[in-house]
Structure 1
Amino acid sequence: MTPTPGGTTHRRTLRWQPARVLALRDETPRARTLRLALPEPRRHLAGQHYVVRLTAPDGYTAQRSYSVASAPDDTGEIELTVEELEDGEVSGYLHGVVEPGDELEVRGPIGGYFVWPGDTPALLVGGGSGVVPLMSMLRQARSTGTADLLRVVVSARTAADLYYADELPGPQTTVVLTRTGRGRLTVDDLTPLVRGGEDVFVCGSPGFCDAATDLLVEAGVPVGSIRTERFGPSG
């Protein structure tokens, strides 16, 4: 197939395919992971996303993009972690209606900018649900024995809001709790983790990404080394 610019998203990834829901797992009171089986396995890159489309009986459709949380592999299965948003059309369905055995329309993997190749040093900075694509990177590094390439900083409001709480902690990770801990992410959290020359991936709300980028620059990271992925409340 002919690749799109960047060489990471192929034309066939833009075709819809039915994905079967294998399992559901709650990460927090408002975040759920869906494990999906794809009829046409497509190995993703850590940081890419899939689009999920719902179609009502009257033909009305709604679609949203969700980052892949699982590590790249050839099993034909992926995990998407979805935050339930108030009045969210798609997220509400994925949390309150979908069950194992159901089918969802998906297309992907998509994206060529916010991806980690798996063999270069990187600093990952995530806020709230922004940890999802970073978790794919961390899982890949751990599974391939290259975890020493990564440094990870995750900001969450409370321990109950922390995604992947049983898996995320480790020598590569720092967790900052903004409501029950000592407050917001600071330059002192980031400066010791900056090694120089690494790529930096920042993911979260627009406000978080802007604040984290300013702190990283203050910590000595060149602006050109920082890639951001901003998440917004799209439902």
Structure 2
Amino acid sequence: MVGTVVSRTAETPTAATLLIDVPGWRGALAGQHVDVRLTAEDGYSTQRSYSLASPGTMGLPGVPPDPAAHDSRIALTVQIVEDGEVSPYLTQDLQVGDQLELRGPVGHWFVWHPTDPHPVQLIAGGSGLVPLMSMLRTRRLARSVAPFRLVVSVRTPQDALYADELEALGTDVRITRVWTRRGPDGWTGRIGRIDAGLLRDVCFPPDERAHVFVCGPTPFVEVAADLLVDLGHDPERIRTERFGPTGP
């Protein structure tokens, strides 16, 4: 399928959100991704996977499985990958009106269903927040009352995605910020990486059997998942998504 870029909005100095109109889009589940294929004039092509940042409208109560019932626009938030051949083009060169070849939605493991009432614990490292933001937006759109908590780790405030939107969600979702290098002006809290003590204090306790979604760079995800298991969380309730050097 082919989508047309409607807008490109800077989220941080190194990340941008693309709003893309995709005629016939049938919706997606919160947490899914799409594959983006670029083809050069000489015929060379390459493909990358990018998580959907937009709400997952598939499975929303009262929304029939009909393309006409879904918003045809999707949002992708793209973080520039150093020495990458796709992300710099998408975030810096792509223009409104340009078209992209897309495939998806893809993935049925790392998804949240808006009819599920169980608590949900989200843990994000850097741009790993993107599919988790889709879950948060889906929760709001579905008017779900499932308890949500979010732990989001980034280097500095300058690197924080969706800062204003998360601030607005703070009254309904317990959000814990982890700054690994520098906090905002006046910050007196901890600076550093996530650890067992932090996760024990801010995450749902294991006996509440929350669904846990962890997304970010591979080392971050592995550490977070191991810490959660050590704290007593059921491994079968922990779902992970890893972003490698050529990932979303």
TM-score, normalization: structure 1? 0.89
Q: Deviations over 1:52-95 (max 9, x none)?
A: 01111111101100000011231111100111112211111112
The answer to whether the 8 Å contact 2:12/2:161 transfers is: yes
Match of 2:204 in 1: 194
Q: How does 1:1-235 map to 2 (within 5 A)?
A: 17-73=1-57, 74-118=70-114, 119=116, 120-146=118-144, 148-169=146-167, 170-171=170-171, 172=173, 173-181=175-183, 182-192=191-201, 193-195=203-205, 196-234=208-246
Residues 76-119 of structure 1 deviation map (CA, whole Å, 9 limit, x = unaligned)? 11100111112211111112211111111001000010000122
Alpha-carbon distance between aligned partners in 2 of 1:149 and 1:42, rounded to the nearest angstrom: 28
Figure out how many residues of one structure are paired with residues of the other and give that number: 219
One-letter amino acid of the structure 2 residue matched with residue 177 of structure 1: W
Q: Report the Cα offset of residue 213 of structure 1.
A: 1.0
Unaligned runs of 5+ in 2: 58-69, 184-190
Quick one: which amino acid aligns to residue 49 of structure 1?
A: H
Kept in 1, the 8 Å contact 2:120–2:146? The answer is: no
Post-superposition offset of 1:148: 4.6
Structure 2 counterpart of 1:3: none
Distance 2:243 2:176 in 1: 21
Contact 1:194 1:219 in 2 (8 A): no
Q: How many angstroms apart in 1 are the aligned matches of 2:129 and 2:151?
A: 9
Percent identity among equivalent residues?
A: 50
Query: In the TM superposition, what is the alpha-carbon distance from 1:140 to its structure 2 partner?
Result: 1.0
Gaps of 5+ in 1: 1-16
Deviation at 1:147, TM superposition (A): 5.4
1:21 to partner: Cα distance: 0.3
In the alignment, the residues of structure 2 paired with residue 224 and residue 148 of structure 1 have an alpha-carbon distance, to the nearest angstrom, of 19
Aligned Cα root-mean-square deviation (Å): 1.4
Change (3 A) 1:93 1:147: farther
TM-score of the two chains, using structure 2 as the length reference: 0.84
Report the more deviating stretch, 184-193 or 153-162: 184-193
Cα distance in 2, alignment partners of residues 127 and 215 from structure 1: 14
Secondary structure in 1 aligned to 2:200? helix
1:168 is paired with a residue whose SS is helix
Q: Distance in 2 between matches of 1:33 and 1:226?
A: 28
- 1:162 deviates by 0.7
1:194 Cα deviation (Å)? 1.6
- 1:175 is displaced (CA, Å) by 1.1
How many Å apart are 1:149 and its aligned residue? 2.1
Structure 2: which amino acid aligns with 1:132?
A: V
Counterpart of 1:60 in structure 2: which amino acid?
Answer: Y
SS at match of 1:87: coil
Corresponding letter in the other structure for 1:107? R
Q: Cα distance, 1:42 vs. partner?
A: 1.8
Name the SS for the 1:50 alignment partner. Answer: strand
Structure 1 runs of 4+ with >4 Å offset: none
Displacement, 1:37? 0.5
